[in-house]
Amino acid sequence: MKRKLCTLGFLTLALVALTLGSAWAETIRIGLMCPLTGSWASEGQDMKQIVELLAAETNKAGGVNGNQIEIVIEDDGGDPRQAALAATRLTTKEISAVIGTYGSSVTEASQNIYAESGILQVATGSTAIRLSEKGLPLFFRTCPRDDEQGMVAAKTLGDLGFAKIAILHDNTSYAKGLADEAKSLLEAQGKTIAFYDALTPGERDYNAILTKLKSAAPDVIFFTGYYPEAGMLLRQKMEMGWNVPMLGGDATNNPDLVKIAGNQAAEGYMFLSPPVPADLDTPEAKAFMEAYQAAYGSAPGSVWAVLAGDAYRVIVEAIAQTKETSGEKLAAYLQKEMKDFSGLTGKISFNEKGDRVGDLYRVYKVDAAGAFVLQP
């Protein structure tokens, strides 16, 4: 009898130890929803590369709270419907939090799904204002909002002394949102909006638009669309022999811009953007740049992918500090306790809506060699 009790006790202990041990050695799963296919495939693939790199580093350093991190990736195809499916799929995979995604309407399609499952979502490339105005407690974003960029745009244009401004967008929700913000702020400042229209992205020939712009005789063109079109505009503007200055939004921040426009046409072009890691002095940023260069042989292309890296880092930091993986606890930490966390794009703190606080936007100028120079 004694023997049997002993064996039973021993077995129970073993079982308990095993379950505790497996809980101990559990992997923490973090989801990544990004556009691996579709029109923004290059952004999604950059996001994947950065997050995987960072996760490998974390795991090599021993993981978080002793647990290894596993990244679960789902493709949202840059399309709201696919995003909803991808989000539903991720909710069945026992993830603690999700990073993503790029594209405001794509992110929006997934918000409710994550919210209903209690999963923390940190968006990285979704700047539409309304995303954080819905009172979703588990929604955060490392990217700034369109109204902030609009304000910085209006201020920059004012500081540079432009009075007659032409605004050009490409009818996507992001570009139009930014253009509208800038327009209302500029008009409130008493500036003249000489031109306001949209071009069709994906076209090649913008001469018709440039000719029309030229006849409106603005002091500056503010283009809120993406870098391929910005590059084409710069190039064709130069070929027309028109020297009007051009300011762009953050979607034009991409080294390919200079490749498309050519050094001569791109020189003097200015744009707004969160600072890229190469321009930050923090040890994290430097270490990140070195690691990325070593792993992939080039600098990261898109600042939005770097923001995804920041999303990863804040999630991991939250898990490490709270020693929890539930959405509510992590969200509470991010909102209340995370202050000036050293991110790859600057200091990160979140306000009660889940937006990133702080003046994120800086002005960059392209020099004669095609490099992006941060302006003071």
Partner 1 sequence: MEEFFQQLTNGLAVGGIYALIALGYTMVYGVLKLINFAHGDLFTIGAYLGLTLLVSMGLFDKIGPLPAVILLAVMVMILVAIIGAILERVAYRPLRQSPRLSAVVSALGASIFFQNAIMAIYSPKFLVYPHDILPKAAVTIFGLDIPVMRIIMFLTSLVLMAALYFFIQKTKIGTAIRAAAIDQGAAKLMGINVDRVIMLVFCIGPALGGAAGLMVGLYYGQINFSMGWMFGLKAFTAAILGGIGNIPGAMVGGLLLGVIEALGAAYISIAWKDAIAFCVLILILIVRPTGLLGERVAEKV
Partner 2 sequence: MKSTNILYLAFALIMASCPMFLNAYWTDVFNNVGLYTILALSLNVILGHAGLFHMGHAAFYAIGAYVTAILNTTFGIPVLWSMPLAGIMAGLFAMIVARPIIHLRGDYLLIVTIGIVEIVRIALINNVFDITGGANGIFGISRPTVFGYKISKPDQFFYLIWGFAAVTIFLLLRLEHSRFGRALMYIKEDEVAAGGSGINVAHHKLVAFVIGAVWAGMCGTIYASKMTIIAPESFSFAESVVLFTIVILGGSGSIPGVILGAFLLVGLPEVFRGLAEYRMLVFGAAMVLMMIFRNQGLLPPGPKNYNVADLLPAGGRK
Q: Which residues bind partner 1 (CB under 8 A)?
A: 37, 39, 41-42, 45, 171, 197-200, 202-205, 207-209, 211-212, 215, 228, 231-232, 235, 239-241, 256, 259-260, 262-263
Interface region with partner 2, contact rule CB under 8 A, candidates 118-126, 166-174, 291-299, 346-354:
166-174
When the beta carbons of 31 and 35 are compared against partner 1, the nearer one is 35
Establish if 81 lies at the interface with partner 2 (CB under 8 A): yes
Nearest distance from C-beta of residue 326 to partner 2, angstroms: 19
- Amino acid in position 215: S
Residues 98/121, Cβ–Cβ less than 8 Å: yes
What does the longest C-alpha to C-alpha distance in the chain come to? Answer: 101
Nearest distance from C-beta of residue 169 to partner 1, angstroms: 9
Interface region with partner 2, contact rule CB under 8 A, candidates 2-10, 109-117, 212-220, 336-344:
109-117
Report DSSP letters for 284-306, one per residue: HHHHHHHHHHHHHSS--S-HHHH
Establish if 172 lies at the interface with partner 2 (CB under 8 A): yes
- Amino acid in position 346: G
Establish if 182 lies at the interface with partner 2 (CB under 8 A): no
Closest CA to 127 of 185, 179, 168, 173: 173
Q: Is 326 helix (H, G, I), strand (E, B) or coil?
A: coil
Burial 242-257, CB ≥16 within 10 A → b, else e:
eeeebbbbbbbbbbeb
Residues 166/214, Cβ–Cβ less than 8 Å: no
Residues 348/314, Cβ–Cβ less than 8 Å: yes
Nearest distance from C-beta of residue 330 to partner 2, angstroms: 22
Nearest distance from C-beta of residue 296 to partner 2, angstroms: 19
Binds 235, which of partner 1, partner 2, none (CB < 5 to 8 A, cut-off by type)?
A: partner 1
CA dihedral 173, 228, 277, 324 (to 10 degrees): 40
Establish if 42 lies at the interface with partner 2 (CB under 8 A): no
Establish if 47 lies at the interface with partner 2 (CB under 8 A): no
Draw the binding track, 195-214, toward partner 2 (x: CB under 8 A; -: no contact): ---x----------------
Establish if 148 lies at the interface with partner 2 (CB under 8 A): no
- What is the Cα–Cα distance from 197 to 175, expressed in whole angstroms? 11
Interface region with partner 2, contact rule CB under 8 A, candidates 105-113, 136-144, 156-164, 223-231:
105-113
Nearest distance from C-beta of residue 265 to partner 1, angstroms: 9
